Amino acid sequence: MKYSKYSTVIIGSGIAGLYAALKIEQQVKLPDGLLLITKSRLGESNSRYAQGGMVAVMKDNKSDSVPSHISDTIKAGAGLSEFNTVKFISENSDAVVKDLLKFGVEFDRDENNNLCYTKEAAHSVRRILHSGGDATGKMIEQALCRKVSENENIEIYEQTDAVELLVSSAECKGVIVFNNETGDYETVYSSAIILATGGIGQLYKYTTNPVGATGDGIALAYNAGAVMQDMEFVQFHPTALAIDGDENRFLISEAVRGEGAKLCDSDGVEFMSKYDERKELAPRDIVTRANYNEMQENHTDCVYLNASCIDSKKLAKRFPTISKKCLEHGIDIAKDYIPVAPASHYFMGGIRTNLKGETSINGLYAIGEAASTGLHGGNRLASNSLLECVVCAYSVAEYLKSIELKTPKQIDEEIKSIIDKYSNEDIVMEELDIQSLKSELQNIMWDYVGILRDKKSLETANELIYRMKADFPRDVKCLNRDEYEYRNMLTVAQLIVHCALNRKESRGAHFRTDYPKTNEECIHSVIVKEEMELVK
């Protein structure tokens, strides 16, 4: 096995990982250099697909203010958002947007060159910046990728999966990585490992997330002993394009509703006023459950979004990606109803961190969707995720600047035994039908741990997942990326089910039909590996 050492290693090349790389390179002393690892190609991630935009509370936007953004975020968060986190992220948005502009990111502007703001559900004012109309994530990511690729001080490993963290005595000393193209393993030592590995959308049958969103970083951190938080809170987006056979679903941005589109049944009858006075712009969990309920009652696979009330020129300019994608399926969004249905979209839970990105393990940091900072609480407000990615990337860089990064010298027995597992060339592994196993797990999560849950459905899921885990013969080393991903998906699924069973109330995106009320007491779910091991 090859060995290397770096002052800092960032795992993941979404917006959180890319921006962290640039800020760390710019500010932190890195005697042993900086490594960015990604299991995809550099520009491939959830970030790339972000449409609606990024919240920005800009000082010169007179209609907005930090208190107003804090209030909207906390209301959507269903009691679980942390005030100090929300305030920190909101207050820093002006500075990070200005910094992104310096890195070449462009946001859409009006004819007077002023930034354009849009509105999405549960925001009280227009405060969302967008780029390329509805291609915000792609535009930000492309600009950051360009800067990272040009930067000679950032070493990049593509097609490389982090497969296990090297942790002993609650301190992270490195990571084992696996090159999916060559099949080679490498031990990378570092005293600062930053997980920016994104979310878990692929745990569900229907998702807006691309194939890589398998919760890897969350599973790695959990297995290494890190504290996990609010794992039962999975956000389902109400309006993914519902085309038969498509399980990875293209998103129809909430911004389309923000501009006036209405939800209706196949006869054009609007229904949102039955569910919430804010109708289409109610918080995401409410709109999702409304769509789901309409589909159940009418025995249909979708509801419809009617955007024909929006000026057709404006639609084409504001939503070029959505217009094009729908046209590929014969849907003209200026005239036709768009078939939509809920799909798993975002993970509010994850690795518990503070505002410096620190996890409960020394030397291990987490940022972006993999982290649970307490910003989103039980239900994320639209477009707050990209903001969290960049503010937290910025703040982890600030923190690393203030400490001395010493690459670990002493490798103890515990670390050595982890490395030995991956150095063993003699293990013979039979090839498994991982795609079928992944599909089975995705179906279980969708059917039993989805938009509505109850004790019976969760216990069924628990039993099935335990069995699948017991049947998966890979506790040492896997054959390929698919197997590593499946292993991680099983771990994260088990944690979601466990926390969902424990939360005997409905709050935000976690809706228990057997406990439909919200408790007065509002507490985070917190779990570590030793506790789970005691649970049957």
Min dist CB 375 to ligand SIN, Å, is: 12
Q: Which is nearer to ligand SIN, 255 or 341 (CB)?
A: 255
Residue 198 interacts with ligand FAD (CB under 6 A): yes or no: yes
Residues identified as active-site? 284
Residues in contact with 325: Cβ distance below 8 Å, sequence separation at least 6, in sequence order: 241, 250
Q: Which is nearer to ligand SIN, 254 or 294 (CB)?
A: 254
The residue from 53, 377, 378, 508 that contacts ligand FAD (CB under 6 A) is: 53
Binding to ligand FAD by CB under 6 A, coded x per residue (else -) over 231-270, reads: --------------------x-------------------
- Give the chain's radius of gyration (CA, Å): 22
Min dist CB 52 to ligand SIN, Å, is: 3
Q: DSSP letter string over 321-378?
A: HHHHHHHHTT--TTTSPEEEEEEEEEES-EEE--TT-B-SSBTEEE-GGGEE-SSSTT
* Helix, coil or strand: residue 501: helix
CA separation (Å) from 345 to 159, 201, 241?
24, 6, 13
Min dist CB 68 to ligand SIN, Å, is: 18
The residue from 30, 154, 162, 303 that contacts ligand FAD (CB under 6 A) is: 162
Which of the ranges 17-25, 29-37, 371-379, 380-388 carries the binding residues for ligand SIN, by CB under 6 A? 380-388
Question: Which residue from 93, 84, 98 is spatially nearest to 128, judged by alpha carbons?
Answer: 93
The residue from 10, 22, 24, 50 that contacts ligand FAD (CB under 6 A) is: 50
Q: Which is nearer to ligand SIN, 271 or 346 (CB)?
A: 346
Binding positions for ligand FAD, 110-149, rule CB under 6 A: 136-137
C-beta of residue 307 within 8 angstroms of C-beta of residue 333 = yes
The residue from 25, 64, 161, 232 that contacts ligand FAD (CB under 6 A) is: 161
The partner in contact with residue 271, picked from ligand FAD, ligand SIN, none with C-beta cut-offs of 5 to 8 angstroms by kind, is none
Question: Which ranges of 216-264 would DSSP assign to H, the alpha helix?
Answer: 216-223, 254-258
Question: Which residue from 295, 205, 291 is spatially nearest to 254, judged by alpha carbons?
Answer: 291
The residue from 302, 382, 405, 445 that contacts ligand SIN (CB under 6 A) is: 382
The residue assigned the tokens 């890319």 is 18
Min dist CB 382 to ligand SIN, Å, is: 4
The residue from 6, 25, 35, 49 that contacts ligand FAD (CB under 6 A) is: 49
Binding positions for ligand FAD, 86-105, rule CB under 6 A: none
Binding to ligand SIN by CB under 6 A, coded x per residue (else -) over 32-71, reads: -------------------xx-------------------
The partner in contact with residue 368, picked from ligand SIN, ligand FAD, none with C-beta cut-offs of 5 to 8 angstroms by kind, is ligand FAD
Please report, in angstroms and rounded to a whole number, the separation of the first and last CA atoms in the chain: 37
Residue 385 interacts with ligand SIN (CB under 6 A): yes or no: yes
In one-letter notation, the amino acid at residue 149 is: S
Residues facing 176 on adjacent strands: 164, 187
Question: Which residue from 291, 287, 353, 352 is spatially nearest to 499, judged by alpha carbons?
Answer: 352
Residue 9 interacts with ligand SIN (CB under 6 A): yes or no: no
Question: Which residue from 23, 48, 21 is spatially nearest to 99, judged by alpha carbons?
Answer: 23
- What's the burial of 194, exposed, middle or buried (CB within 10 Å: 0-12/13-18/19+)? buried
Beta-carbon-side half-sphere exposure of residue 53 (alpha carbons within 13 Å): 29
Q: What angle do CA 390, 395, 399 make, to 5 degrees?
A: 150
Q: Which is nearer to ligand FAD, 202 or 407 (CB)?
A: 202
Which of the ranges 3-11, 152-160, 225-233, 381-389 carries the binding residues for ligand SIN, by CB under 6 A? 381-389
Please give the structure tokens belonging to residue 97.
Answer: 């947007």
Q: Residues binding ligand FAD: what is the number (CB under 6 A)?
A: 44
Min dist CB 518 to ligand FAD, Å, is: 25
3-state secondary structure 107-163: CCECCCCCECEECCCCCCCCCEECCCCCCHHHHHHHHHHHHHHHCCCEEEECCEEEE
C-beta of residue 165 within 8 angstroms of C-beta of residue 224 = yes
Q: Which is nearer to ligand SIN, 165 or 390 (CB)?
A: 390
Which of the ranges 50-58, 69-77, 145-153, 299-307 carries the binding residues for ligand FAD, by CB under 6 A? 50-58
Q: What angle do CA 323, 329, 330 make, to 5 degrees?
A: 80
Min dist CB 325 to ligand SIN, Å, is: 13
| Residues at the contact surface with ligand SIN, assessed by CB under 6 A | 51-52, 251, 253-255, 346, 382-383, 385
| Residues at the contact surface with ligand FAD, assessed by CB under 6 A | 11-17, 37-40, 45-47, 49-54, 136-137, 161-162, 196-199, 208-209, 212-213, 216-217, 251, 346, 368-370, 383-386, 389
